[in-house]
Structure 1
Amino acid sequence: MNGAAGMAPRDLLTDRLMLGLAALVALVLGMPALKPLFATLYPTLDRPLYEAESFLRLTLDHMALVGLSSLAAILLGGGAGIAVTRPWGREFRGLLETLATMGQTFPPVAVLALAVPVIGFGAEPALIALTLYALLPVVENTIAGLEGVPAAVLDSARGLGMGPLEVLFRVELPLAAPVILAGVRTAVVINVGTAAIASTVGAKTLGLPIIVGLNGSNQAYVIQGALIVAALAVVIDAAFDRLARWATRWSQS
């Protein structure tokens, strides 16, 4: 058996995904129980625990923002990457790679600063900034994965009578899946950390206690937000690691 259901108890105790999930749940739901600990570590603070918003609510909002921006980057970057590997789209490859590179080199904070006067405060400008920031790894890995498919395999597929779309979905994408997934993994993990800055423009994310803590010289708030962001990043990275192993087996089957 594969997956968590087929693991022995000892394996569950050493599995990175299971340990990360346990830590994340414990931090999100059990942070109030750590109030005495933070009060001891920071005795000069009147409020050693961030209580303006529920950590569960902030985590869900953070995950929603990361999920939406990553999905947009996957659809846009993946679609564009596929397009420029087709004969009719090759001439646009240079332009696409330039735009994707600009999207990541342009700081998300600068994108937020430009978007807020036009769109207003909230999650929308953060969604734009995170989507642009996640495009480059998706685009690059989609192109690399598709171009890495052996020409002999493509010739064989066409020799069997497959049309262009059938070759793409039945041959190219399955074989390129591990490489494409690596780019998606990079994009999502980057967005988990970068989404924290969205709270500077009014979006509710796990960056809120961090920013409030920095502004108010409250180190406890900063640690609380950072711990949950780090645990979330570990869980997502471990989940992608497991998904990558499955994608590799699928591409080889």
Structure 2
Amino acid sequence: MPLLWLGLLLAATLGMEQLEGVLRLIEPDSREVIYRRDTFLALLVQHVMVVLVASLLAVAIGVGAAIAVTRPAGRDFRPLVGQLASIGQTFPPVAVLALAVPVLGFGTLPIIMALLLYGLLPIVRNTLAGIEGIDPAVHEAARGMGMTGVQVLRQVELPLAAPVILAGIRTSVTINIATAAIGATVGASNLGDPIISGIVNGNTAYVVQGAVLIGLLAISVDSLFERFMPRLAPR
């Protein structure tokens, strides 16, 4: 199934010109119905790179923070970490962009910051749920075998919590693929470009092109997670 969605994504990315007749039905009065300011392949690559960088940062920070507050020395900070992660997702990405642009300037950095904050909550929550959901008897057995705290984390807690953590990462990445489109409003070139251009110029065909490619990308990535998560999770 992932190959099917990836094939459709690639076909739509490289063969958008072949759909001009269909798009002309959507915008019969427009002189131009195919977005041509940049190639769709370049926009797709830039979109994927932005989401990838933001997601890697979110995973590193989210998983790291959740692990830290499940250790004895960090338990007092658990409510704070949960609240900060919740605020990050409830704070509108557009507002993050508005605040980040004066500091970081126009381009890719503001949208990476917005996606990072927006993608933390599911990762933090799932990591906490995965680690705290482990049977206390398992911890006692590990300590009884003479394992250190680091060994318990690496060899017991993280492997057992992996399916739940990966589910949170899957949710975070999928959400960010769609959210990344707003980066086009601050000069970050990605698949949001045709959508914003279509809205500004009243060209629905442009909007459809960007939306279809983003949708296919989100489905492709989600199907890849669905396919490979069982292999990543320990038996």
Fold-level match, TM-score > 0.5? yes
| 1:87 and 2:67 correspond | no
> What RMSD, in angstroms, separates the aligned Cα atoms of the two structures?
0.9
Distance 2:21 2:232 in 1: 45
Query: Which of these residues, 123, 129, 134, is aligned with residue 119 of structure 2?
Result: 134
Q: Is the 8 A contact 2:127 2:165 kept in 1?
A: yes
Report the residue type matching 1:56 in the other structure: L
Partner of 1:198: 183
Query: Once structures 1 and 2 are overlaid, which stretch shifts more, 154-163 or 101-110?
Result: 154-163
Partner of 1:229: 214
1:167 offset after TM fit, Å? 0.7
| 1:212 and 2:197 correspond | yes
Matched position secondary structure for 2:70:
coil
Partner of 2:19: 34
Unmatched 5+ stretches in structure 1 = 1-14
Distance 1:84 1:51 in 2: 49
Distance 1:179 1:243 in 2: 14
Partner of 1:66: 51
Partner of 1:18: 3
Report the residue type matching 2:203 in the other structure: N
Equivalent residues, number = 235
Distance 1:41 1:126 in 2: 30
TM-score by length of 2: 0.98
Listed as ranges, the matches of 1:45-64 within 5 Å are 45-64=30-49
Partner of 1:146: 131
1:40 offset after TM fit, Å? 4.0
Partner of 2:166: 181
Distance 1:21 1:240 in 2: 13
Query: Which of these residues, 148, 154, 166, is aligned with residue 151 of structure 2?
Result: 166
Distance 1:87 1:163 in 2: 14
Partner of 2:109: 124
1:39 offset after TM fit, Å? 2.4
Report the residue type matching 2:63 in the other structure: G
Partner of 1:6: none
Q: Is the 8 A contact 2:26 2:204 kept in 1?
A: no
1:64 offset after TM fit, Å? 0.3
Displacement over 3 Å in runs of 4+: none
1:2-61 deviations in Å (ceiling 9; x for gaps): xxxxxxxxxxxxx2x121111101111111221233224422110010010100000000
Percent of aligned positions with the same letter in both sequences? 51
Partner of 1:239: 224
| 1:101 and 2:86 correspond | yes
1:117 offset after TM fit, Å? 1.1
TM-score by length of 1: 0.91
Distance 2:121 2:26 in 1: 41
Report the residue type matching 1:178 in the other structure: P
1:195 offset after TM fit, Å? 0.1
